[in-house]
Structure formats: C-alpha cells, structure tokens
C-alpha cells in the first residue's frame, strides 16, 4: 500500500489550500436512462486508472449489485473518461443539469490522518455517507443515493492511491477528501438528469490555523442576507448554500469580521449557523453545550462528535432554538466544522440599518477551558492518541 509522509512536500508549511496530489480525481459515474431499471457506476483514478464497475438492479425493495475491480495504465481501459488521464479536468456535456438546474454539487468533506505507528485512518466516513444517503442531501435535489459501503470503500481506495501525500503524524496535517456528486447527463427543461457522476478529490492540508486553536475571532451577525429559506435546502450539503454566503462573507471581512453568523430567515430572532460551520454555545456554570436545532442547519459531523465528547465530559447537550438574546448568557461560543474543527469566537456584533452598532456580545478573550478540552479530545481521537471508544476511526487498508 505504501506509506504516508513519503511525498516530497514542505509538510511544515501546509495550509488548507495546498494542491499536490497523485490522483487528481477518483470518480464514480452513475448512468440511469429515463425509466430504466439498471444503473452502472464506474471509478476512474488518474494518472493510474482503476475501474470499478457496479451494476444496480432494482426490484421491489431489493438492491442487487456486483462489483468488479480491474487496474490498467493511463493508456488502458476505454471505459475511463479520456479527459481524466493525468489531468484535474473533467469532460462535461454542455447540457448537464449541473450547469443549469442546481444538480451541481452534493458534496462531503472528511479527513484521513497518519498515526504514530505508520497506519492511516479516516475519521467517521460512514457518517459522511449517511449524510448524503440518510440525511437526504442527494434526495433533496433528486440525485441517486450512493450506498454507504460503496462510499466508504471509495474513500478508502482514494486514500490508498494517495498514501504518500498523507501528512506525517505530529504537525497536525491531514489528507482532506472531497466526495462530490453532480448531474452530468444533459437535460434542457427542469427535470433530474439521467446520468450522475460521483468523484473524490483529495488534497493534503495543514491546521486551519498554525498550532491548532487560534485566538478567538470576532464575528458579524448578518441581517441583510439569509443563508437558507425555511423548508429550503439549508440542511442539505449542496453548493447553493455556500453561494449564498459569498457576498456577505466578503463584505464582513472588509469590515474586519472573518466569520458571519446567520439568523433564521423567517424572523431574524433565532441563531442558525456560521458561514460554513455549526454554532455551539457553552454555559460553563451549568455545564451546558447548546446548539441550534433548526431544520435549515446542516447536520455537522464535527458537531455530532463534539456533542458525544461533551456528554463524556459530563455536560448536558441541548439541541433547541437559540434566541439572539441568549448569546449574552454564553461563556464561550465556537464554530465547528471538518476544515477548522473548532474556531473560538471572541465576540458577535450586530448593526442596525443605519450602520450603527446595535448589539455586541462578548465571550472569552482567550481560548476557553471547555473549548480547549473539546478540541484536544477530538484531535487526540483523530490522531489515534487516545482510546477510540466510539469506534469513529476507519483504518485504511
């Protein structure tokens, strides 16, 4: 299988935008003719092509599939998309629903970590698979489900294929995986595609902030924009949710706020989530971990993991509505997600229409005690430094 940390990269200088990798993409393509009962999936990895042929036969509640694995050189099997050979680019039909009708991106994000013993483990890939399948990201935009076992095997394969680019144990780096499903079949007229492509991009990354947890950052409460509409696609991990944040995010940064906090679109009285991260409020006196339960919020796997860790620490975990006024009661506030793990929030500011400051909620000026404990524990589990009693890590083999 090879070993991690063998690529010639400046490991100490990795950031979240590093780009070196052996396989530009690994892709699974699902073909579904309108009204057809059979689907086929295949995997393409460059520059060494490995082809996964999967046939689906749907009959009642049964799903039968066969899996064949073959390996060929970059001049090999014609089933591979020829445009992928040694290239990070994809050939896509101009009429693909990804370009016209919002079937552009149902995606995930997860990481693989090198352990001190030289092994490599992925953190909770099964939960990413469930979020696409069970949490209905794909279903919400009428794209096919990726079976959980296939999703995990695909992630395992692409990490193995890029094992040399897994950062070494110690400095805090990881191999970031971006599985992506989109409509590649042509359709003009609002309707789902008859073909979908599932690809996985991998990229070695360092800590979001050098040294792990950074000094708390100041956030802006957004009133001029909404992230997601009630009964919309806010709970699905699709590209449109991120497009909504582009303008407010850039405008906030110009004002000196590196992160935005969105409120519920209907009333602007309830906390929902940060730009790309879930919201967590900590009440140290009553040992409470509080996070919004809005149906417009993406269910974060990092948040889910931190909730379990908080319970292990003896904290009460509450998923419920969080009024804006309740921000004044929190000792610590943090944003959490796969890329950042945890960002401590030092303050949240809200402006009125005239541009004058209306509210400013202040939290811990330094990394809070509970924030530190949560971060250290989840990172220790990811790095194989403490017992994985919840069986979150999947060894790459």
The b-or-e profile of 90-124 (16+ CB within 10 A means b, else e) is bebeeebbbbbbbbbbbbbbbbbbbbeeebbbbbb
- Enter the tokens of residue 55: 């046939």
Query: Is 237 in the active site?
Result: yes
- Enter the tokens of residue 293: 């339960």
- Enter the tokens of residue 32: 């579904």
CB 194 within 8 A of CB 175: no
The DSSP code for 13 is G
Q: How far is it, in rounded angstroms, from Cα 15 to Cα 18? A: 6
- Enter the tokens of residue 79: 């089933």
Q: How far is it, in rounded angstroms, from Cα 324 to Cα 331? A: 15
Q: How far is it, in rounded angstroms, from Cα 309 to Cα 331? A: 18
Q: Which of 160, 210, 215, 237 is catalytic?
A: 237
- Enter the tokens of residue 194: 């008859």
| DSSP code per residue over 305-372 | HHHHHHHHTTPEEEEE--BGGGGGG-SEEEEEETTTEEEEEEEEEEE-TTS-EEEEEE--SS--HHHH
Q: How far is it, in rounded angstroms, from Cα 136 to Cα 249? A: 27
Secondary structure string (H, E, C) spanning 222-275: ECCCCCCCCCCCCCCCEHHHHHCCHHHHHHHHHCCCCEEEEECCCCCCEEEEEC
CB 342 within 8 A of CB 336: yes
* Integer CA distances (angstroms), 100 to 96, 97, 379, in order: 7, 5, 40
Catalytic residues: 237
């Amino acid at each position: 299988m090879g070993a991690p940390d063998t690529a010639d990269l400046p490991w100490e200088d990795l950031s979240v935008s590093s780009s070196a990798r052996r396989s530009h993409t690994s892709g699974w393509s699902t073909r579904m003719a309108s009204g057809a009962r059979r689907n086929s999936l295949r995997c393409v990895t460059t520059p060494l092509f490995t082809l996964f042929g999967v046939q689906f036969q749907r009959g009642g509640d049964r799903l039968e599939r066969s899996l064949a694995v073959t390996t060929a050189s970059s001049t090999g099997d014609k089933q591979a998309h020829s445009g992928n050979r040694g290239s990070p680019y994809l050939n896509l039909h101009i009429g693909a629903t990804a370009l016209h009708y919002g079937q552009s991106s149902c995606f995930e994000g997860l990481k693989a970590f090198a352990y001190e013993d030289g092994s490599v483990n992925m953190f909770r890939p099964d939960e990413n698979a469930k979020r696409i399948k069970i949490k209905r990201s794909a279903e919400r935009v009428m794209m096919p489900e990726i079976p959980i076992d296939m999703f995990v095997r695909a992630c395992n394969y692409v990490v193995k294929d890029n094992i040399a680019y897994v950062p070494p144990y110690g400095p805090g780096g990881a191999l970031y995986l971006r599985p992506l499903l989109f409509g590649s079949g042509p359709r003009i007229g609002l309707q789902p595609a008859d073909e979908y492509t599932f690809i996985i991009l991998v990229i070695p990354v360092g800590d979001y902030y050098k040294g792990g947890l950074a000094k708390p950052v100041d956030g802006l409460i957004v009133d001029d924009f909404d992230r997601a509409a009630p009964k919309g696609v806010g709970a699905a991990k699709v590209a449109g949710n991120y497009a909504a944040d582009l303008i407010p995010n850039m405008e906030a940064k110009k004002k000196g706020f590196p992160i935005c906090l969105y409120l519920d679109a209907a009333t602007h009285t309830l906390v929902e989530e940060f730009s790309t991260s879930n919201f967590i409020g900590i009440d140290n006196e009553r040992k409470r971990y509080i996070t919004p339960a809005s149906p417009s919020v993406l269910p974060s796997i990092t948040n889910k993991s931190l909730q379990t860790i908080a319970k292990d620490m003896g904290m009460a975990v509450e998923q419920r509505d969080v009024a804006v006024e309740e921000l004044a009661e929190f000792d610590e506030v943090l944003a959490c997600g796969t890329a950042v793990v945890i960002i401590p929030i030092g303050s949240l500011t809200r402006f009125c229409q005239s541009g004058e400051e209306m509210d400013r909620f202040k939290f811990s000026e330094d990394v809070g005690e509970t924030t530190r404990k949560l971060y250290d524990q989840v990172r220790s589990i990811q790095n194989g430094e403490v017992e994985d009693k919840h069986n979150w890590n999947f060894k790459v083999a």
